[in-house]
Structure 1
Amino acid sequence: MNLFADIRDVILSCLDQLVAEGVLPARLDTDAITAEPPRDPAHGDMATNAAMVLAKPAKMKPRDIAEALAAKLGTDARVTSAEVAGPGFLNLRLAPSVWQGIAAEVLARGTAFGRGDLGAGKRVNVEYVSANPTGPLHVGHTRGAVFGDALASLLDFAGYEVTREYYINDGGAQVDVLARSVYLRYLEAHGQEVAFPDGTYPGDYLIAVGEALKDKVGDAYVDAGEDVWLAEVRNFATDRMMDLIRADLAALGVEMDVFYSEKSLYGTGRIEAALDDLKAKGLIYEGVLEPPKGKTPEDWEPREQTLFRSTAHGDDVDRPVMKSDGGWTYFAPDIAYHYDKVQRGFDLLIDVFGADHGGYVKRMKAAVSALSEGKVPLDIKLTQLVKLFKNGEPFKMSKRAGTFVTLRDVVDEVGPDVTRFVMLTRKNDAMLDFDFDKVLEQSRENPVFYVQYAHARVASVLRKAAEAGIDTQDATLAAADLSRLDHEAEQTVLRKLAEWPRLVETAARSNEPHRVAFYLYELASDFHSLWNRGNEVPELRFLQEDDVATSQAKIALARSAAIVIAAGLGILGVNPAQEMR
């Protein structure tokens, strides 16, 4: 049930009647007509832009359309008033029974309330994290992991068939560097003193990998040259690093459906097949690029290269796919990887990258547009940096990774639920301050606590109701006399619950899971306000002494709020609290 969609349908039906009566011309485009909460709640329960949208094509004054529409809407039992405001905005007030029915709907559907069909029949691939397999995940990866995972859950909730995917960057030179770094730890495990040259990975996390290599091969590689051990150690180290990364993701509550190896693209004809596809479309050619910005002819050596005509699909410049020595550029396997995604039949592709990949967006979108002939959209979401604080000061924890704070450090400090929620309290492309003191603070200023506390309060109400012998099964509560929920504070919570299906659809359309976190905070705020009003107005308390019927109606409202909070937290990957400690 999406009440806003239902009222929009009522508006469209009334417009059809006005067309039939000759008040409006036929064949008007109504796609842009909305029914949504007004900016100022004092103006009503819903507002529609119908008159403003239709005025120009209908060649009528907006106010004239609004007044005719208001008269029609006034005949619907769900609409208690339709008021024209300004040049032609229309504000609606709905009958209390409409809002009261929301609680019954939530109780009937449980956490499935709000699930939509926006993505019905559509397959989406969400690729996120995709860190180089050269060490533990750091705090920047944490944000991308949480964002990508929450986005995948949001799209699933909106009806899409979702594949969560990790692209293992194991095809480049950095994996050789990893192998050499592990080899040094291997020598160290054999009692040798070693030094880590610049460019290698000196982190303590490789000590165990070096020891494991020793356990596997003994001293076979101690005095051997790279030609003997490099390939084997590269595979061994990559596997060990991916085990570590999987464990880190599991600690955060992230599980991938697919781990796709970049290495699998080399020597298998997959890169060639992708570029042949582009070549057949006239998009691969031999040419010379202009000097990059900031370069002058004196410090730029023009040379002929194999180029992808990405400007034909919205990019600023064409991009090299082959280096002058005949090797592939880093862009070539990425084209092949996305070609594989297109070939797998996804209807939508989403890549979650760190902020440092901003310059990569246009070329990748151009590639997918070309490979799919414009049929498969690619949305690239960039996650900005995370700044860690403690006691108001920039904070750095253990350096077991050598150069950065790890995902596991953060999770061990505050737990996965807090980590995940806080990472979604800002839009993905905004900087995020993560203060270890504030995220554990028990106050309204801490959104994690505030939302969890609302759910825990409802759990407390249900426990006390059970002690009083009140039946609080959802089916029983749904059948309660909900007309008793007539106070404005109760109606406010019901109105917020009614927004949930619309919020899910809006967030899924824009690929913005942070909207869910914002909504949950607002719902929790309305619920806490109702709870606190009960301290002053006994009639608002959820348990009414010697009045089971009224208690059940009020508990139905509280339980409905908890159900929606649990559903929203489920999307964010956070467990709802049963009690606060």
Structure 2
Amino acid sequence: MIKSQIKEIVDHCFTEGVRLGYWSGAVAGRYSIEVPKREGQGDFSTNFAMVAAGIDKGKPRDLAVPMTELLAGQPMVERVEIAGPGFINLFLKKTIWATVLAPIFAQGENFGRSEDGQGRRVLVEFVSANPTGPLSVGHGRNAVLGDTIARLLEANGYQVQREYYFNDSGRQMRVLGESTRARYLELLGMPASFPEDGYQGDYIYGIARSMVEEAGDSFQDAAVDIFKERAQQAIFTDIDTTLRRIGIHFDTYFNEHSLYEDGRLKAVVDQLRGKGLIYEKEGATWFKASEFGQEQDRVIIKSSGEPTYRLPDIAYHCDKFERGYDWMINVFGSDHIATVPDVLAGVRALGHDDSCITVVLYQFVTLLRDGKQVKMSTRKATFVTVDELVDEVGADALRFFFLMRKPDNVIEFDLDLAKKQSQENPVYYVQYAHARLCSIEKMAAEQGAVVGLTQQILQRLVEPEEYALLKMLADYPQLVAGAAADLAPHRIIFYLIELAGQFHGFYNKHKVLTDDHDLTGARLALCQGVKTVVYNGLHLIGLTAPVSM
């Protein structure tokens, strides 16, 4: 916002400098405008002089001098300084920062949204958990991360499709069917052989029990596939219910089994074979992945005739290309790190541009209770489910804590902290800021105080805490754009925590409702601006914005 205005000013001065012969036009678009990290280095800084010196073979400080002279004459600029090897620091007039409030009031819930994506079609594939049991906390992080990425992209003008890849084939699904059948026979008092690596959770008993209640012993001679289908249907219904509890929906579900039924797996193998990229060895079918940058070739069909994960994944991504998406984003656990390059190699081998595919790999979640790690094992069903986590800490805390770290960082989810109704809890801290702002608004209405948006009134915002808030509000649109471009939703969390902290600091030091009519109006405008941005930020990441706490 204000940063974009500063960029326009620097660009204008650059063009004027080209006209005057100070530097060449080759420097255009190569310098950057940044917000300095340290106090006293200005509101914005540009590396223009150093970039220009590298291209025009001059001295940075010699080029910085005429640029500072051009910038110093701009209406928004109070003063300009040259620092270090040639950085140019710009200090803006204090009155400029309050101008951020007008667009916030005008745009309301749309403040921070943009059309940067220009309607490009994006497919975000996430969760895609095998329907072999309830969603674990690891799946929960995947779900929240993928959904928030989709929300960010939508807020920036992308046309987003959310997709769940439904793995209804392969060995794990057979084991699910065998486990359910064994529990069914067991409940009937019949001999049953439970698979050695079967699913042991109580939920398997629940599925088997429902089959007994429905049809008695009529399934005792049924094929394993019948039990597999019943189990996956029940489990997926449970998964869908869980996802809806945390505000997540999908536009499409893609069944892995369809790749087998319509011959797409065979088509991929045939295409690779036609390109000379397939060979047989030890009864298995191998893909020459080494010809596409991989260290070694990969088996895509086992000697048993069963495909490895790589083959259906390659076929699935080819299907995505055929559907015409501009950008395909996959959210995977870090355990996929070895298979992702092989799948991308297969996509390239089939003539597709794999640069259109972005894979977000996330680390898993460690739960802490009383400072100790909660043990989890999916197969033995001693894991904590997403439903249990929602029951304990609530959907808002779950989403917030899952987004508090970069995807490639392990999350230590402190259950005790997430439940605290105090400002130690970061989600409470942010939501309390919104509730406090709503309370201020209510008190102002009761006292007949009104928001003041005229330039004369807003000039009363002169305190350091007020400038800090205004600067943060001005940063919000670019923050959202950057978080979307880099698929980095954690930045919204960091921003909201900092904004809440700046507001609480301001409120604890300064009265909003005063005897001074203009000062009250100015501070109410500031508070309304902060309230709008906190609300927008919370909703952007799928959280509620309470009006009271």
TM-score (norm 2): 0.94
Q: Show the counterpart of 2:461.
A: 485
Do the aligned residues in 2 keep the contact of 1:147 with 1:513 (CA within 8 Å)? Answer: yes
What is the aligned length?
Answer: 549
C-alpha distance in structure 2 between counterparts of 1:305 and 1:180, whole Å: 26
C-alpha distance in structure 2 between counterparts of 1:319 and 1:101, whole Å: 59
CA drift at 1:111: 2.4
Q: How does 1:235-274 map to 2 (within 5 A)?
A: 235-274=229-268
Do the aligned residues in 2 keep the contact of 1:114 with 1:501 (CA within 8 Å)? Answer: yes
C-alpha distance in structure 2 between counterparts of 1:11 and 1:60, whole Å: 19
Which residue type is aligned with residue 334 of structure 2?
Answer: A
Which residue type is aligned with residue 4 of structure 1?
Answer: K
Do the aligned residues in 2 keep the contact of 1:460 with 1:579 (CA within 8 Å)? Answer: yes
CA drift at 1:308: 3.0
CA drift at 1:411: 0.8
Do the aligned residues in 2 keep the contact of 1:353 with 1:380 (CA within 8 Å)? Answer: yes
Do the aligned residues in 2 keep the contact of 1:107 with 1:478 (CA within 8 Å)? Answer: no
* SS of 1:202 mapped into structure 2: coil
Q: Show the counterpart of 1:185.
A: 183
CA drift at 1:50: 1.4
CA drift at 1:449: 1.7
Do the aligned residues in 2 keep the contact of 1:205 with 1:400 (CA within 8 Å)? Answer: no
Q: Show the counterpart of 2:17.
A: 18
Do the aligned residues in 1 keep the contact of 2:310 with 2:339 (CA within 8 Å)? Answer: no
Q: How does 1:517-528 map to 2 (within 5 A)?
A: 517-528=493-504
Do the aligned residues in 2 keep the contact of 1:390 with 1:436 (CA within 8 Å)? Answer: yes
CA drift at 1:19: 0.6
Among the aligned pairs, what percent are the same residue? 40
C-alpha distance in structure 2 between counterparts of 1:15 and 1:423, whole Å: 44
Which residue type is aligned with residue 232 of structure 2?
Answer: T
C-alpha distance in structure 1 between counterparts of 2:162 and 2:150, whole Å: 7
Instruction: Identify if the C-alpha distance between structure 1 residues 275 and 60 changes in structure 2 by more than 3 Å, giving closer, same or farther.
Output: farther
Q: Show the counterpart of 1:338.
A: 317
Q: Show the counterpart of 1:410.
A: 389
CA drift at 1:439: 1.8
C-alpha distance in structure 1 between counterparts of 2:272 and 2:73, whole Å: 59
C-alpha distance in structure 2 between counterparts of 1:375 and 1:190, whole Å: 52
CA drift at 1:76: 1.2
CA drift at 1:426: 1.0
- CA-based RMSD of the aligned residues comes to 2.4
C-alpha distance in structure 2 between counterparts of 1:304 and 1:84, whole Å: 70
Instruction: Identify if the C-alpha distance between structure 1 residues 343 and 478 changes in structure 2 by more than 3 Å, giving closer, same or farther.
Output: farther
* SS of 1:83 mapped into structure 2: strand
CA drift at 1:552: 2.5
C-alpha distance in structure 2 between counterparts of 1:199 and 1:57, whole Å: 64
Do the aligned residues in 1 keep the contact of 2:36 with 2:42 (CA within 8 Å)? Answer: yes
Which residue type is aligned with residue 146 of structure 2?
Answer: G
Which residue type is aligned with residue 367 of structure 1?
Answer: G
CA drift at 1:316: 2.8
Instruction: Identify if the C-alpha distance between structure 1 residues 391 and 324 changes in structure 2 by more than 3 Å, giving closer, same or farther.
Output: closer
C-alpha distance in structure 1 between counterparts of 2:445 and 2:247, whole Å: 33
C-alpha distance in structure 2 between counterparts of 1:369 and 1:490, whole Å: 53
CA drift at 1:104: 1.5
C-alpha distance in structure 1 between counterparts of 2:351 and 2:2, whole Å: 37
C-alpha distance in structure 2 between counterparts of 1:366 and 1:67, whole Å: 51
Which residue type is aligned with residue 329 of structure 1?
Answer: T
Q: Show the counterpart of 1:552.
A: 521
1:202 to 193, 200, 203: 200
* SS of 1:133 mapped into structure 2: coil
C-alpha distance in structure 2 between counterparts of 1:319 and 1:232, whole Å: 33
CA drift at 1:382: 1.6
C-alpha distance in structure 2 between counterparts of 1:330 and 1:190, whole Å: 36
1:93 to 91, 94, 104: 91
The Cα offsets for residues 325-357 of structure 1, whole Å up to 9 and x where unpaired, read as 444222111101111111111111111111212
Q: How does 1:301-312 map to 2 (within 5 A)?
A: 303=282, 305-312=284-291
Q: Show the counterpart of 1:36.
A: 34
Between 1:556-565 and 1:367-376, the stretch displaced more is: 367-376
Q: Show the counterpart of 1:284.
A: 277
Q: Show the counterpart of 1:533.
A: 509
Gaps of 5+ in 2: none
Do the aligned residues in 1 keep the contact of 2:200 with 2:379 (CA within 8 Å)? Answer: no
Q: Show the counterpart of 2:166.
A: 168
C-alpha distance in structure 1 between counterparts of 2:331 and 2:157, whole Å: 20
C-alpha distance in structure 1 between counterparts of 2:91 and 2:198, whole Å: 66
Q: How does 1:27-176 map to 2 (within 5 A)?
A: 27-30=26-29, 32-176=30-174
1:469 to 440, 448, 457: 448
Instruction: Identify if the C-alpha distance between structure 1 residues 158 and 166 changes in structure 2 by more than 3 Å, giving closer, same or farther.
Output: same
Instruction: Identify if the C-alpha distance between structure 1 residues 448 and 483 changes in structure 2 by more than 3 Å, giving closer, same or farther.
Output: same
The Cα offsets for residues 40-73 of structure 1, whole Å up to 9 and x where unpaired, read as 0321111111112221111111112222111111
The Cα offsets for residues 294-340 of structure 1, whole Å up to 9 and x where unpaired, read as xxxxxxxxx37543333444433332222334442221111011111
CA drift at 1:287: 6.1
Do the aligned residues in 2 keep the contact of 1:104 with 1:478 (CA within 8 Å)? Answer: no
TM-score (norm 1): 0.89
Gaps of 5+ in 1: 289-302, 535-540
C-alpha distance in structure 2 between counterparts of 1:272 and 1:284, whole Å: 14
Q: How does 1:372-411 map to 2 (within 5 A)?
A: 373-374=352-353, 376-395=355-374, 402-411=381-390
C-alpha distance in structure 1 between counterparts of 2:531 and 2:271, whole Å: 52
Which residue type is aligned with residue 531 of structure 1?
Answer: Y
Instruction: Verify: 1:316 aligned to 2:295, yes or no.
Output: yes
C-alpha distance in structure 2 between counterparts of 1:449 and 1:195, whole Å: 50
* SS of 1:560 mapped into structure 2: helix
CA drift at 1:144: 1.1
C-alpha distance in structure 1 between counterparts of 2:539 and 2:351, whole Å: 33
* SS of 2:261 mapped into structure 1: coil
Q: Show the counterpart of 1:229.
A: 223
